[in-house]
Amino acid sequence: MHSFGYRANALLTFAVTILAILCAFASLSDNLNVPNPSAHVQVLSINWFQKQPNGNDEVSLTLNVSADLQSMFTWNTKQVFVFLAAEYETPQNSLNQVSLWDGIIPSKEHAKFWTHTANKYRFIDQGSNLRGKEFNLTLHWHVMPKTGKMFADKIVMTGYRLPDEYR
């Protein structure tokens, strides 16, 4: 005997099953999206380069940061946080990481950009190791999804070098 309650229950079960299948498919399609972002950073100028009275080196740079992060955006992407770090080795530390610039990208429309900027955060070494120093500029990002796990990755750009003398 099929009562009203039985049919309502069957309908609900069917609806929940369909929903579960759709969610699984959506999450799978999000995981299948392999982003292929690109980034390029030019050091346009060294504004100044000094040793501070406390003995730490500090440099001011003007950068042109350009990136195309559009492929990171799927239906499930809330926003992307990016930061650009100078990374270099010193006798004391195998990795020194100094954040120079960051930004929040709210949508795919804003994910292809270039920006001409002086470093937003100070580039200071814990010592006087920066003269003639080779360094990498690494663009790190954190993809914040609407549902599911946060995802982080980076692009390393190599071959930068600071001047041999203070200026």
Contact 150, 85 (CB under 8 A): no
| Residue 158 binds to ligand NAG (criterion: CB under 6 A) | yes
* CA–CA distance, 58 with 128 (Å, rounded to integer): 9
Cβ neighbours around 43 below 10 Å, total:
14
| Selected range binding ligand NAG among 22-30, 48-56, 84-92, 105-113, rule: CB under 6 A | 84-92
Q: CB under 8 Å to 132, separation ≥6 — which residues?
A: 161, 162, 163, 164
| Residue 40 binds to ligand NAG (criterion: CB under 6 A) | yes
| Selected range binding ligand NAG among 45-53, 105-113, 131-139, 147-155, rule: CB under 6 A | 131-139
* CA–CA distance, 21 with 81 (Å, rounded to integer): 31
| Residue 62 binds to ligand NAG (criterion: CB under 6 A) | no
| Selected range binding ligand NAG among 19-27, 67-75, 103-111, 134-142, rule: CB under 6 A | 134-142
Single residue of 136, 145, 151, 155 touching ligand NAG by CB under 6 A: 136
Alpha helices (H) along the chain: 4-32
| Residue 64 binds to ligand NAG (criterion: CB under 6 A) | yes
Tokens of 22: 């759709």
Residues that bind ligand NAG (CB under 6 A): 40, 64, 66, 87-89, 114, 116, 134-136, 156, 158
